[in-house]
Amino acid sequence: MRIPLSAPDIGEQEIQAVTEVLRSTQLSLGPRLEEFENCVAKYVGASHAVAVNSGTSGLHACTRALGIGEGDEVIVPSFTFVAVANAVRYERATPVFVDIEPQRLNLNPNRIEEAITARTKAIIVVHTFGCPADMEEILAIARKHHLYVIEDACEALGAGYKGRKVGGLGDAGVFGFYPNKQITTGEGGVVVTQNEQLAARIKGLRNHGRSDSDDWYQHAELGYNYRISELNCALGITQLRRIDAILERREAIAKIYTEKLTGVAGLILPSVSAADCRISWFVYVVRLAPQFSEAQRDHIVRELKSRGIGAGRYFAPIHRQPVYRTYARRAPLPITESIAPRCLALPFFNRIQNDQIEEVCQSLMHLVGEIRVRARAVV
């Protein structure tokens, strides 16, 4: 792609930090790991942070550490990345899909209680596209029904909710640092929590079930190789030092897109602000108007790509994936099923240039206009 959908922002400082690790004698479980964890915990406002090799590993470690298992149910959105449901199934628990609200595209608190049963043990809240979910209402529901709350903040590093950073509000929060995120460690993730015992359990799980007090070949429980290398942590430390500037830049890009696309017939734009919240811009996702079909959205994606412009279909609902078609829905998911086929992610990364944004917008407007003209001709 001439204009990719996403691109990591790696500079000389990051390269130097990784090179220093390569010249050291310790590539795993060393001082950069502890430093990275401390930096993330301080930034989020959490007491503890445990770095792992992916956001997915972090979600799985949380479900395991909280004792979620076979026979339990976990409420999740369907409008999100599949890892959320996968982490539940890894422990043979059942993901129960609940609909989203139509503005922020996060779990709808008004739909959660009707999905709760005697088997429900937790709620996984996704801060979709970096926009905070309504944590006040969701936490109140969780307390009422004695449920755990796991925040999937993999798309939302730096997002704020009523004066606090997301990820540190529930029983545990998970961040992901894949190359398309606000900052990257290449591959990697971090679990944050205020609970010391939970953090210790997750720390053991990431290293084959070995606690800090055990010898190297002594293992207290079944665990996993979810370790993250010193290389990844060095990259993350350096990236995190720039987080404020990165978030400001991404906010500015979102505003430019909004200015250029406002008033375009057939497009519904994301809100660039939310009451009592700060959006941490992960992607810029527009929606086609309700009269557009999924096939027309997909046509636009193909045409943009043919012009060298990256585009993405965010998200394909999990409950429509072949591997999840038999899983539970307590109620229909009309908002998810209406919005998902019309969502379109545009190129969005720190170093995108204004002329590239202009080309994206002009191409998108042209394609949307063509579809509208053809539709009028048919009528």
CATH number for the domain harbouring residue 43? 3.40.640.10
Query: Are residues 295 and 354 located together in one domain of the fold?
Result: yes
pLDDT category at 218 given cuts 50, 70, 90 is confident
What is the spatial distance between Cα 159 and Cα 204, in angstroms, rounded to a whole number? 29
Domain boundary among 189, 221, 240: 240
Residue 31 has which token pair? 């001082």
Domain containing 282 — which CATH number?
3.90.1150.10
Query: Are residues 150 and 209 located together in one domain of the fold?
Result: yes
What is the spatial distance between Cα 226 and Cα 332, in angstroms, rounded to a whole number? 36
Phi-psi region of 10 (alpha: psi -120 to 50; beta: other; left: phi over 0): beta
268 CB-contact burial (10 Å; exposed 0-12 / middle 13-18 / buried 19+): middle
Residue 3 within a domain: no
Write phi, then psi, for 96 (nearest 5 degrees). -115, 120
Tell me what the pLDDT averaged over the chain comes to.
96
The reported pLDDT for the residue numbered 220 is 84
Q: Give the DSSP letter of residue 246.
A: H
For residues 343-364, average pLDDT: 98
Write phi, then psi, for 126 (nearest 5 degrees). -105, 130
Q: Give the DSSP letter of residue 28.
A: B
Q: In the chain, how many domains are there?
A: 2
The reported pLDDT for the residue numbered 378 is 64
User: With 90 as the cut, is the pLDDT of residue 246 above it?
Assistant: yes
Query: Are residues 21 and 80 located together in one domain of the fold?
Result: yes
Bridge partners (DSSP) of residue 3 are 309
What is the spatial distance between Cα 202 and Cα 170, in angstroms, rounded to a whole number? 16
Q: In what order do the strands lie in the sheet with 160-161?
A: 164-165, 160-161, 277-278
Domain boundary among 240, 257, 291: 240
Query: Are residues 219 and 339 located together in one domain of the fold?
Result: no
pLDDT category at 156 given cuts 50, 70, 90 is very high
| pTM for the structure as a whole | 0.96
Q: Residue 95's domain spans which residues?
A: 12-240
Catalytic residue numbers read: 181
Cα Rg for the chain, rounded, in angstroms?
A: 21
Phi-psi region of 47 (alpha: psi -120 to 50; beta: other; left: phi over 0): alpha
